[in-house]
Amino acid sequence: MENIIVKFVVIIVMSYLAGSVAGGYYVVKLFTGQDIRKLESGNAGATNAGRVLGKKGFLLTILIDAGKVFITLAIVQHTIIDSDLALVISSILLITGHLYPFQLGFQGGKGVVVYLASALFLSPLTIAVMAIVMGASYGVSRRYKTAGFISMASIPLTAFLIDDYIVVCGLFLLFCTVVLSHNK
């Protein structure tokens, strides 16, 4: 019993710390020497990195932010505990670290890339459905942000049809976290 508690403590700490690696902050700092939180929208995420540095900043930030998710979840799955519960807990702590990185005064990104990367790892088919919903939503609304939120909402709905309740609940919680982060 003690061993499982230690494993979950390791997952929690490792996931929060990995989530705290703010790709946008480090990319902008590397290329401009400036703090992304003082530029454009003031957010430390991929969209703002794109505003500051263009496609290069956007893509590098996505690579870093998605990479931290894949690496952390792979470590959890292959070396600590191979369970959906462990992966969902790790995903929740990854997004928490991303939104509230301790080294940046708890001012991080909005969690979209972390949510999408977590969904891709936990339930890959949900991302394929999301892409179809995104295309259809954009075709109807012609509004990128509206289409994005509708398509992101399709992830837990699709998971409901194909996955177990732990993954469904985890993806729903991650989606709600992203929605709330866009309202702060």
If you write DSSP's letter for every residue of 32-78 in order, what string do you get?
A: HSS-GGGSTT---SHHHHHHHH-HHHHHHHHHHHHHHHHHHHHHIII
The predicted structure's pLDDT at residue 181: 93
Domain that holds residue 13: 2-110
Which residues of the chain have a pLDDT value below 50?
Answer: none
Domain for residue 42, yes or no? Answer: yes
Domain for residue 139, yes or no? Answer: no
Domain for residue 171, yes or no? Answer: no
Q: Cα(73)–Cα(88) distance, rounded to whole angstroms?
A: 9
Q: Cα(109)–Cα(19) distance, rounded to whole angstroms?
A: 10
The predicted structure's pLDDT at residue 167: 97
Residue in this structure with the two tokens 């909402």, named with its chain if needed: 153
Domain for residue 115, yes or no? Answer: no
The predicted structure's pLDDT at residue 184: 63
The domain total for the chain is: 1
